[in-house]
């Protein structure tokens, strides 16, 4: 099943967006996936260089770790009829002193509200990193990422605020063992019943 109706038109508009073109070192290439039937939303930060090249979200080591946290195969993960993938920034933003730059705000301002409105069946929001926490949780988030993630029981089962699965957070995972011991099993249980009953589409 492919996106249909208003959402299909909206996705074409997003993928043709050039609003940030002067600020993007590799040029615009919006990366996202969605269909009206999706029940799980994965919200991350912004594409890295590898994802910019492939056009496939989470097509990197961070994606491998995220799929492990979800207990999810690539086949299911990339079945847009079940999993919508909408990062806070759709294009690679460039490099800063300490890694990739933050996602640009134009995506949220121009597109996010309309995209979420076109996904009426969402039941679980997987929020990977502080930018996704800020947008989807708003004033409900805590003072920082660690406190927000530690309070996951207060947001579940609809929202799961996670650290970003980047290798940059290896130390965070080491000093916060409760995350993989307690939060990850609950996350897997929350998404399992939503994604397994339907047949998966082919992985691109």
Helix (H, G, I), strand (E, B) or coil at 164: coil
Read off the pLDDT band of 204 (50, 70, 90). low
Provide the residue ranges of all domains of the chain, joining segments of one domain with +.
5-195
Read off the pLDDT band of 56 (50, 70, 90). very high
Read off the pLDDT band of 3 (50, 70, 90). very low
pLDDT of residue 96 exceeding 90: no
Percent of the chain exceeding pLDDT 70 equals 93
Read off the pLDDT band of 195 (50, 70, 90). confident
Read off the pLDDT band of 16 (50, 70, 90). very high
CATH topology of domain 5-195: Uracil-DNA Glycosylase, subunit E (3.40.470)
What mean pLDDT do residues 122-149 have? 98
Structure tokens belonging to residue 39: 């029940």
153-168 exposure pattern, b = at least 16 Cβ within 10 A, e = fewer: eebbeebbbbbbbbee
Query: Closest Cα partner for 29 from 14, 9, 10, 7?
Result: 14
């Amino acid at each position: 099943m492919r996106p249909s109706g208003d959402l299909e038109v909206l996705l074409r508009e997003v993928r043709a967006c050039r609003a940030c073109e002067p600020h993007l070192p590799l040029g615009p290439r919006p990366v996202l996936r969605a269909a009206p039937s999706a029940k799980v939303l994965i919200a991350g930060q912004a594409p890295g260089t590898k994802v910019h090249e492939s056009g496939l979200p989470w097509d990197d080591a961070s994606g491998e770790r995220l799929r492990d946290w979800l207990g999810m195969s690539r086949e299911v993960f990339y079945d847009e009829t079940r999993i919508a993938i909408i990062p806070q920034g759709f294009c690679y933003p460039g490099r800063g002193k300490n890694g990739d730059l933050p996602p640009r705000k134009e995506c949220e301002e121009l597109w996010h509200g309309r995209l979420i409105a076109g996904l009426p069946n969402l039941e679980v929001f997987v929020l990977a990193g502080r930018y996704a926490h800020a947008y989807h949780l708003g004033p409900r988030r805590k003072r920082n990422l660690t406190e927000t993630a530690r309070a996951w029981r207060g947001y579940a089962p609809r929202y799961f605020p996670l650290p970003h699965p980047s290798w940059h957070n290896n130390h965070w995972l080491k000093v916060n063992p409760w995350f993989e011991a307690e939060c990850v099993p609950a996350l897997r249980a929350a998404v399992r019943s939503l994604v397994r009953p339907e047949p998966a589409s082919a992985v691109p």
